[in-house]
Amino acid sequence: MRISLTTSPGYRPFEKGLYQVAPLLKPLNNPFSSPSPPWDSRVFQMDQYQSHYRDSKARSLTDRNEKYLGFDRLEAKAYQAVCWFIARQLTLEYPEDFEVNGEIGDFSLKSKNTEELILFTKESDLKTWAQLSLEVQEDLAIWTMTAQDEWLSAISILSPNHWAPEQKLGKSFAQVHGPVAGIESINSRARQMVETMIEKGPFQRFAWGVATDNRLNHHPIAPTTEDPQAWAGRGFDPLNPKLFVRTERQCLIPFPEVSCSLFTIRTYFEDCEIIKADPRARSALISALESMSPESRIYKGLKDSYQDILSWLQTN
């Protein structure tokens, strides 16, 4: 049983009272050398919900792997560098829970919590990539850049938020983010963004929205075992209100020596009943929602529920 599991403090990026579509990159103050660094300096944040995240990811993998996992023109040296970093970082952040043996290109990662032994070789392997993904609460992606091109070269997105990872694999930054309302100014300098991800950092950033449930996996295509309408979610009922802030903490880790970047997504939920009980937080959330453009409201799934959600938040 994990003995270093901690209680997550969570994040409230809406507290600025403003919804923004911007990079908002903050330095991740982690030298990648200190054992058990402070929580906010960790790339991988393991908390009291670790088993819940693992179970949710495992259920995603019983659906159709290709909806969530894949490689596209990922070079072996980039795969090796990223996997080696993840394994080594886990042993630094959770030294009592993980153990690495071997060297890059031929090593093993032992999880003392799950008793899993993951074997890594020089070649990229989806089974190993999936095993590694189950050991962390974050989703994982790799961006690659060459002199001619940049693209999403690997995914393990087992908790997608109303988007289909398999449709993004192999696409450029601008293509991946094209549907995001208000992204135009960022997409106009897409290559510069990818260069920053690969050559600078590490960084962290936050994205958020409101959700009517706290299910991690919201792939737009429901598993065959689920009712599509119920799976879709985003139906706010003022008579039986359920609302959560869904926050993503995203880390960008550069690997300039192999021209790629590791991109991690850690999802957090906070019940809006708790936020309503905090006058300052409630006021900030209302202000942030009111600052959303009509296009952003549609993109965030609030087209039909926006006014009902605001009214509920404003009512004691």
Chain center to CA of 142? 12
Burial class of residue 56 (count of CB atoms within 10 Å of its CB; 0-12, 13-18, 19+): middle
Count of helices and strands (H, E) across the chain: 11, 10
Local structure of residue 42 (DSSP, 8 states) = -
Q: How many CB atoms neighbour CB 246 within 10 A?
A: 23
Q: Which residues have CB under 8 Å from 140's CB, separation 6+?
A: 86, 129, 132, 133, 154, 155, 156, 157, 262, 263, 264, 265
Q: How many CB atoms neighbour CB 296 within 10 A?
A: 18
CA distances from 198 to 77, 123, 170, 207 (A): 15, 22, 17, 20
173, HSE (Cβ side, Cα atoms, 13 Å) = 26
pLDDT at 4: 57
Local structure of residue 49 (DSSP, 8 states) = T
β-partners of residue 16 are none
pLDDT at 5: 61
Distance CA 282, CA 198 (A): 37
Q: How many CB atoms neighbour CB 266 within 10 A?
A: 24
Q: Which residues have CB under 8 Å from 212's CB, separation 6+?
A: 233, 234, 235, 236, 242, 243, 244, 305
Residue type, 276: K
Q: How many CB atoms neighbour CB 292 within 10 A?
A: 21
The answer to whether the CB of 172 falls within 8 A of the CB of 195 is no
Which residue numbers in the chain have pLDDT < 70?
1-6, 31
Nearest Cα residue to 156 out of 174, 172, 136, 176: 136
pLDDT at 10: 84
In what helix (H) or strand (E) does residue 140 lie, and over which residues does it extend? strand 139-145
pLDDT at 1: 43
pLDDT digits (tens, 9 = 90+) for 219-238: 999 999 999 999 999 999 99
The answer to whether the CB of 211 falls within 8 A of the CB of 230 is no
Chain center to CA of 84? 20
Residue that has been written with the tokens 């579509």 in this structure = 21
Distance CA 156, CA 124 (A): 13
Residue type, 160: P
| H-helix segments, the chain | 50-61, 76-93, 126-134, 173-177, 184-187, 190-199, 228-232, 272-276, 279-290, 294-299, 306-314
pLDDT digits (tens, 9 = 90+) for 146-184: 999 999 999 999 999 999 999 999 999 999 999 999 999
Burial class of residue 149 (count of CB atoms within 10 Å of its CB; 0-12, 13-18, 19+): exposed
